[in-house]
Chains A and B, each alone.
Chain A
Amino acid sequence: MWRCLVIEDDQANARFIADGLRELGHIAVVCHDGAQALARASTESWDLIILDRMLPHGVDGLSILATLRGLGKKTPVIVLSALSALDERVRGLKAGGDDYLTKPFAFTELAARAEALVRRARPGPEIRVLEFADLRLDLARRQVQRGARAITLQPREFRLLAFFMLHAQQNLTRAMLLEAVWDYHFDPQTNVIDVQVSRLRAKLSAAGEPPLIQTVRGVGYRLALPDAPDAADAP
């Protein structure tokens, strides 16, 4: 469970986001105006801030973000914006945002990115070996094993699996996978990511082994055991 501050002037949107987060078991507080939002963001402890770019009275969300970063606040921030100009994303990230979503977005995309951000922000020991179920990935030696079986992966497949294992049990969208593994931000339109994931899934599961990468309808994928909730086996 984590605490999230939702700074959004559109009441309906703010309510949808907050209700969605609460349904996932998190605490969500909504702020509709910039001054109040800045006060709460800078004086209270939050695990995540979801910040709309355009706030009432001509306040730019990015100025709030810059002020927060100036105060030394390192809280992860997702910037929401209806501005999709070519360089808006870069501006949002340069101002100190950790992620950027253009409206309209699916709540599942927002939830998946929020989950990934909060997990990444929580300090942990430096990881050299990732493990999930009987799957083991050695980051330093670039080796993958499932049980006693060694699995040979292409460099990009290795990165894809490492990303899945770093975010085990989390929903990951296709856009997140493309950004994390290929470092590009665009919508490929076709099912290229699905084909990449299904190839990796096939390499990970020999005969009789349960599949570890689950398809989550309407969202993307999730590294989980087949009987985990929210997961449906890929056809």
Chain B
Amino acid sequence: MHWLRALWASTGFRLAAHVALLVSLTILATLAVVYLQTVGVMQQRMARAVALDMQRLTQRFDQGGVTALAAAIESSRARGLAEGDELHLLLDAAGHRLAGNIEPFAAELPRRDATLQRPVLLRGRSVAAYLQLRRLADGSVLVVGRDMRDQQAVESLVMQASLAAMLVSAFLLIGGIFIFRQRLERAVSGIRQTAERIGAGQLQARVAVDDEPDEFALLSQDINRMLDRMQALMDGVRHVSDTIAHNLRTPLTRVLLRLQRHASQPSDDATLRAVLQDSAADLQELAATFEKLLRIAEAEAGTRRMPFETVDMQTIARDVCELYQPLAEDAGQTLVHEDGLPALVQGDASLLASAVANLVDNALKHGGAATRVTLRVRHQGGRLGLIVQDDGPGVPQHELTRLGLRFHRLNAEVPGQGLGLASVRAIAALHGGALRLEDGAPGLRAILELPQPAPA
């Protein structure tokens, strides 16, 4: 019983069993229709033939009485006109046989005209018969019928064929259930095994995908995509913790050593004040780095509870340009925004502004003296691109892909923490977009690509 319960607990088995039940019912209904149609048609044909025979013989009775009728029955039998399965019986009012080929059954005769199926004696043998009985005007009884042995043989043949078909179907269905269940089991067990391996810490494990693009293959692909995303996040977290360890411990150690050194030796007020100011500045820098790393991690994880609002990237570009213009002018650089039509996206204005500010800041820092930085928005294939382009020295091709990795710095001489582009990438990803860096020939072209909301 236990194995039966376990079997029934299997979704694959239950699903297959339900399908089998449906198929069985369909086959059963089809066979029933075939049987009823075949047997029904035969019975109708027999009833019609008997009725015609009866009609012909009663006309003979009307024309010449019972004697003529008896003669007609006998002569048709004698001349072999009657078919082999025809049955006749003519009884007089007293119940004696006047003509016919079946034995009388006077005791059981119905009192009125009737149609009946019953065994009769034909040449000493009992046969199943279909009979119509008519009481004639002079009290005699005419029975016309057909021997039903052939029909019963056909019925039994159809029945046997149906049973055989049912039996074969049942075997096929049972086989089908187990094959289906095994197929399902195989598909699901691949997913289960992968889940087990991942649970055991093998995060790189993936579900094997069949070549045939069935539902399981599609499900496996979806699961693999989800696992890829999770692993990317895990790698991100690991990378963040590594970089935090490296980039935060160093300044922390510096602060700690400085404070310990000055705590253990006498110092004048001015020195102490300087130590405190330096430590506060270091800690503030540290907090800013920590905050930035957290923001990047949060943006990459896509953890948001608040809905985005509609913001205009053209306005953001204008504001950022206006914010940085004095800085650029003081450095002898040019910063321009080529204004255009509103460019609406769903997003967080402050985050997007900080991303654009980061790109402008980079262009000004790395573009060199007298560089010209241009901001413009372009629309392309349902996506919007905010382009920040400078005409500075640009970035070598092999470096383009590494730009935007956390703490990766192109030029150590330029102040910064190497988190700017990583944060732009994360903000872009959070908004369903991406950051593309291209050779501007000359200079660097940074494109913040964002999806545009579909027109209402």
Contacts and interface: CB of A to CB of B under 8 A. Distances in A.
A binds B: yes
Interface of A: 84-87, 90-91, 102, 104, 106, 156, 182-192, 195-196, 199, 218
A91 B305 CA distance: 9
Interface residues of B, number: 34
B235 interface: no
A11 to B, nearest CB: 20
Contacts of B295: 84, 86
Contacts of A184: 319, 349-350, 353-354
Contacts of B303: 85-86
B299 interface: yes
B294 A84 contact: yes
B29 interface: no
B305 A195 contact: no
Nearest to B427: A86
A189 B361 contact: yes
Given A86-B348, A184-B319, A192-B323, A102 B291 contact: yes
A219 B238 CA distance: 35
Contact of B327 (A104, A182, A190, A218): A190
Interface of A is mostly: loop
B219 interface: no
Given A86-B348, A87-B304, A104-B283, A186 B291 contact: no
Nearest to B319: A182
Contacts of A102: 291
Interface of B: 277, 280, 283-284, 287-288, 291, 294-295, 298-299, 303-306, 319, 322-324, 326-327, 330, 348-351, 353-354, 357-358, 361, 416, 420, 430
Nearest to B430: A86
A185 B350 contact: yes
Contacts of A195: 326-327, 330
B344 to A, nearest CB: 17
A102 B284 CA distance: 13
B236 to A, nearest CB: 16
Given A84-B291, A87-B305, 9 more contacts: A84-B295, A86-B348, A182-B323, A186-B354, A187-B354, A189-B358, A195-B330, A196-B323, A199-B326
A190 B331 CA distance: 13
A106 B348 CA distance: 26
Contacts of B288: 187
B351 A86 contact: yes
B335 to A, nearest CB: 11
Nearest to B305: A87
Contacts of B326: 192, 195-196, 199
A167 to B, nearest CB: 20
21 contacts: A84-B294, A84-B295, A84-B298, A86-B298, A86-B299, A86-B351, A87-B306, A102-B291, A184-B353, A187-B288, A187-B354, A188-B323, A188-B357, A189-B416, A190-B327, A190-B361, A191-B327, A195-B326, A195-B327, A196-B326, A199-B326
A107 B323 CA distance: 27
B371 to A, nearest CB: 15
Most chain A CB atoms below 10 A, which of B299, B304, B323, B354: B323
